[in-house]
């Protein structure tokens, strides 16, 4: 697989894609993106740059159709581009962007799709638009797709590590506790990741809910293990 490692190289490929869009429309643009961008090995920061560029250049009313076509190509890089475009669209229509993120994640056939989109959309939305976002996240916590539930953990992780207010982190942790006894592997991966991050950055929240965490009827051993690892990482970061 050919690698594009420099921004200048990526810009050159983007130029061809955008020229195709302006001259021939969305479908031809997608074909160019598949050939010139998504079939190459490109680092995530450069793919995020691609997403930002497409958001700026693709007409607002065509962006969802654009994302849908990119999703159907089933590429790793395509998920990064989708994640960034939906993230940028949060300011235009937050509910739609979160709903579309969940829709694309529900079509996933691999764990990384959940994490790539979940971090960039759900995590960003929680960090920047808590009041609007949290009720939607509560609904998604009961989504029939295990991939969507897993992706919430990725979003929580992203928001917490990037400085989500402690008051809000506690509310997320209560949501995690409500899922602390699930058996599904993918859901455990996502919820466990977020629990570990909570413990690493906010050990006092863990202490506050110690009795709930230690309740073996309501909380799985896997959840306690992730919390323990997070607490150990907190201590290590302090140099203890």
β-bridge mates for residue 41, sequence order: 3
**pLDDT tens digits for the chain (240 residues)?**
789 999 999 999 999 999 999 999 999 999 999 999 999 999 999 999 999 999 999 999 999 999 999 999 999 999 999 999 999 999 999 999 999 999 999 999 899 999 999 999 999 999 999 999 999 999 999 999 999 999 999 999 999 999 999 999 999 999 999 999 999 999 999 999 999 999 999 999 999 999 999 999 999 999 999 999 999 999 887 775
Residue 146 contacts residue 108 (beta carbons within 8 Å)? no
Task: Give the model's pLDDT for residue 134.
Answer: 98
Nearest to 58 by CA among 99, 89, 34, 37: 89
Task: Give the model's pLDDT for residue 240.
Answer: 56
Residue 97 contacts residue 66 (beta carbons within 8 Å)? no
Task: Give the model's pLDDT for residue 235.
Answer: 86
Nearest to 48 by CA among 89, 83, 8, 86: 83
Three-state SS annotation for 12-80: HHHHHHHHHHHHHCHHHHHHHHHHHHHCCEECHHHHHHHHHHHHHHCCHHHHHHHHHHHHHCCCHHHHH
Backbone angles phi, psi at 164, to 5 degrees: -55, 140
Task: Give the model's pLDDT for residue 162.
Answer: 97
Cα–Cα distance measured from residue 179 to residue 191, given in angstroms and rounded to the nearest whole number: 7
Task: Give the model's pLDDT for residue 143.
Answer: 97
Residue 51 contacts residue 81 (beta carbons within 8 Å)? yes
Give the H/E segment covering residue 84. Answer: helix 76-89
């Amino acid at each position: 697989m050919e690698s594009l490692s420099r921004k200048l190289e990526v810009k050159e490929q983007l130029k061809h894609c955008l020229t195709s869009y302006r001259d021939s429309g969305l479908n031809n643009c997608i074909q160019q993106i598949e050939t010139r961008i998504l079939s190459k090995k490109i680092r995530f920061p450069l793919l995020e740059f691609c997403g930002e560029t497409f958001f700026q250049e693709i007409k607002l009313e065509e962006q969802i159709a654009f994302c849908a076509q990119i999703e159907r190509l089933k590429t790793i890089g395509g998920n990064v581009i989708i994640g960034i475009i939906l993230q940028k669209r949060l300011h235009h229509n937050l509910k739609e962007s979160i709903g579309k993120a969940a829709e694309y994640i529900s079509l996933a056939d691999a764990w990384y799709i959940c994490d790539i989109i979940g971090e960039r959309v759900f995590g960003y939305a929680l960090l920047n638009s808590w009041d609007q976002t949290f009720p939607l996240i509560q609904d998604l916590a009961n989504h029939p797709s295990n991939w969507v539930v897993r992706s919430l953990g990725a979003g929580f992780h992203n928001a917490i590590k990037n400085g989500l207010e402690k008051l809000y982190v506690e509310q997320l942790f209560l949501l995690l506790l409500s899922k602390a006894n699930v058996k599904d592997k993918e859901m455990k991966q996502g919820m466990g990741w977020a629990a570990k991050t909570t413990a690493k950055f906010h050990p006092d929240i863990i202490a506050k809910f110690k009795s709930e965490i230690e309740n073996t009827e309501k909380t799985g051993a896997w959840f306690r293990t992730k919390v323990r690892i997070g607490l150990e990482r907190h201590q290590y970061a302090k140099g203890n």
